Amino acid sequence: MNKLANKTAVITGGTSGIGFETAKYFIAEGARVIITGRKEDTLKEAAQQLGEKAIPVKADVRSLADLDQLANQVKEHFGSLDIIFANAGVGYFTPLEAANEASYDNEFDINVKGVFFTVQKLVGLLNSGASIILNASAVNAKGMAMGSLYFAAKAAVRSFARSFAAELGSKNIRVNSLSPGIVRTNFEKKLDLPDGAFEGFINTVVNSAPLGRAGKVEEIAKAATFLASDDSSYMTATDMVVDGGWMNV
């Protein structure tokens, strides 16, 4: 226990799903955590559930002004930072011919721009030995009908981990991506799929994965905790795939 004792962390999109569960694990291991979200009421409720070691900061990762304010809040509350979990993301399945500029911008502004500038705005606050975790997805090396925008955005996140790691290694800062497979969270409600379509997608993935089941949110949180801790001190530029084997078979 206490693998993250005296550590400070930021988790974007920390009000639900993987982000919220990871915040629980970080706190249980001794960390103090800033969680971000776009909705004030949801953010406050999540922080209350997490307890006194959780600090809510309202921030939209698409807004550089919000990310500047996030960095200011980190300075005010922590002074410096040990862990960044760039977790906030969305996913929409859009047919090629139906996609428009707005759908493209929404997918890439949150998943790609948001991740890049979250790291850029906070990297100057990181201590030596810090860990950056980027939430990619097991789709980052796959292709699927209607998935072109989402899959490409997550491939970009995976690519960021490689280049950030190469750039920050001399500062003793590690950067890895974490690629979950199918995990049942409220994320599925954001996919904008017709009724029954998500269940079909789950069945397709689960039936082709060696473990033959969806993942549990705590399984992803445990992986994130490992990457945040010194247990992974010799890991950087790696994509940790936690997907029941789907991506690699």
Of the residues 25, 92, 104, 150, which is catalytic? 150
Question: Is 150 designated active site?
Answer: yes
For the chain, give the DSSP string: --TTTT-EEEETTTTSHHHHHHHHHHHHTT-EEEEEES-HHHHHHHHHHH-TTEEEEE--TT-HHHHHHHHHHHHHHTSSEEEEEE---------GGG--HHHHHHHHIIIIIHHHHHHHHHGGGEEEEEEEEEE--GGGG---TT-HHHHHHHHHHHHHHHHHHHHHGGGT-EEEEEEE-SB-SGGGGGS-PPTTHHHHHHHHHHHHSTT-S-B-HHHHHHHHHHHHSGGGTT--S-EEEESTTSTT-
* Residues with a known catalytic role: 150
